[in-house]
């Protein structure tokens, strides 16, 4: 008798798991509560879908601050090279951009989703929409199937020899990430590490960021200070917003910020080095040259070669220098203060943005209760997990989608009896 696998959730992890399991000759039913698949996938990478990072297994593990070691086996079996080749064979070429981020060559996320759906269809997956799984049924320590509610209000039991929970996390709830998988796992005895948003923008106490909202800074360094001690530092790109700060390096720091907000007393500070390639002396020499170049003019005009125009007033004000002064009136101490501010523009954390604005979910099913080589529950035979529902999370740069695809691949293969 043909084995029947049930996959819950038609996101990247679920589609990969379903396609892989079906390709091994099993009957696969993929249940999706929305009326279409991959809604969150379509908005990743600003609609361009940064689906992996062009690095080796060790690099992928390093890119997962949330239980990266747990991912070693899955990444070894299905790494970024294999993922790119997988999509290439489905007609999706890829390109590598800054930070080793990998995107479809077209820059269109729909191409990635279309390829996943093609893979599932060709493999023989039966995809059912508007099918909300209420619970996973298990007896005597083994999966028996699921209870499913349809759009007409009826509930039915669907038998399954194995079930893969790939329901995602709690961020972007409008896409269907409602945390149902955590409840299902908990009902079966699994421990759930408190789910929380990760890779999330930061609100600041200072209001001046709204005056420069939309301004992107590249090649800067942001350092998180907790109790005036350096907790973490990131180099790259950031963005000022109407509420504070965002962008890749800010999102990467947000995981540590979340921890600090729970455990530390304020103030929690972000210090932005706008010129990390220059020492204090080199920067002062540069400012002095510009002052000579624009002698007789205002401070604002003297800094146009060094800073974006919108940020000049902020720097001068934060340095405590009278912006109405001409260059000839600026003292050496004031010039040094401007340089100090450029090397240490300080903001204070008020809070993280609402959970729904987070890119990924940290927390989830305790990895200690999952076999990392099979993605199978250590508590319930025939129960598997894939993607964000597991307590794993990574940095920006394609690591989280790679983790979804890798865990989906392993869960699909092992649930179908493909072995390690």
The length of the chain in residues reads 420
pTM: 0.90
pLDDT of residue 419: 66
Residue in the block written with tokens 């062009």:
54
Residue in the block written with tokens 């590249």:
218
Q: Regarding the domain delimited by 4-197+360-415, which CATH topology (the fold level of the hierarchy) does it fall under?
A: FAD/NAD(P)-binding domain (3.50.50)
pLDDT of residue 245: 98
pLDDT of residue 258: 87
Q: Is 16 exposed, middle or buried (0-12, 13-18, 19+ CB in 10 A)?
A: buried
Q: Which of 149, 150, 184 is nearest to 167 (CA)?
A: 184
**Could you tell me the residue ranges of all domains in the chain?**
4-197+360-415, 201-352
Going residue by residue through the chain, which has 420 residues, state the pLDDT in tens, using 9 for 90 and above.
789 999 999 999 999 999 999 999 999 999 999 999 998 899 888 889 999 999 999 999 999 999 999 999 999 999 999 999 999 999 999 999 988 999 999 999 999 999 999 999 999 999 999 999 999 999 999 999 999 997 778 899 999 999 999 999 998 777 777 899 999 999 999 999 999 888 999 999 999 999 999 999 999 999 999 988 999 999 999 999 999 999 999 999 998 898 888 877 778 999 999 999 999 999 999 999 999 999 888 888 899 999 999 999 999 999 999 888 889 899 999 999 999 999 999 999 999 999 888 889 999 999 999 999 999 999 999 999 999 999 999 999 999 999 999 999 999 999 999 766
Distance CA 51, CA 66 (A): 18
């Amino acid at each position: 008798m043909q084995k029947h696998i049930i996959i819950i959730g038609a996101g990247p992890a679920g589609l990969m798991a379903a396609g892989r399991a079906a390709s091994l000759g099993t009957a696969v039913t993929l249940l999706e509560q929305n009326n279409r698949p991959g809604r969150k996938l379509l908005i990743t990478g600003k609609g361009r879908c940064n689906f992996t990072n062009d690095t080796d297994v060790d690099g992928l593990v390093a890119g997962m601050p949330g239980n990266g070691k747990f991912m070693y086996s899955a990444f070894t079996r299905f790494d970024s090279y294999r993922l790119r080749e997988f999509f290439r064979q489905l007609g999706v070429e890829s390109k590598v951009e800054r930070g080793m981020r990998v995107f479809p060559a077209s820059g269109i996320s729909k191409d990635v989703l279309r390829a996943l759906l093609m893979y599932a269809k060709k493999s023989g997956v039966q995809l059912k929409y508007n099918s909300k799984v209420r619970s996973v049924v298990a007896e005597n320590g083994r999966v028996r199937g699921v209870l499913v509610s349809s759009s007409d209000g009826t509930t039915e039991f669907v038998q399954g020899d194995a079930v893969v929970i790939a329901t995602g996390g709690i961020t972007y709830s409008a896409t269907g990430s409602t945390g149902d998988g955590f409840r299902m796992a908990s009902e079966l005895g699994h421990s759930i590490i408190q789910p929380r948003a990760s890779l999330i923008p930061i609100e600041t106490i200072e209001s001046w960021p709204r005056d420069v909202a939309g301004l992107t800074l590249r090649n800067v360094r942001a350092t998180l200070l907790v109790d005036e001690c350096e907790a973490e530092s990131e180099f790259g790109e950031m963005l000022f917003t109407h509420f504070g700060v965002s962008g890749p390096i800010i999102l990467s720091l947000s995981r540590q910020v979340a921890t600090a907000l729970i455990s530390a007393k304020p103030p929690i500070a972000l210090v932005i080095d706008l010129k990390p390639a220059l020492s204090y002396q080199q920067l002062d020499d540069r400012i002095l040259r510009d002052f000579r170049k624009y002698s007789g003019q205002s401070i604002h005009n003297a800094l146009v070669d060094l800073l974006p125009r919108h940020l000049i007033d902020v720097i001068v004000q934060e340095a405590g220098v009278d912006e109405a002064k001409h260059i000839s009136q600026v003292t050496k101490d004031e010039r040094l203060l401007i340089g100090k501010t450029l090397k240490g523009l300080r903001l204070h954390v008020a809070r993280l943005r609402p959970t729904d604005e987070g890119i990924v979910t940290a927390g989830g099913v305790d990895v200690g209760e999952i076999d990392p080589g099979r993605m199978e529950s250590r508590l319930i035979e025939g129960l598997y997990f894939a993607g964000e529902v597991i307590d794993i999370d990574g940095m920006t740069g394609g690591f989280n989608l790679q983790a979804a695809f890798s865990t989906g691949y392993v869960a699909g293969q092992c649930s179908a009896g493909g072995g390690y």
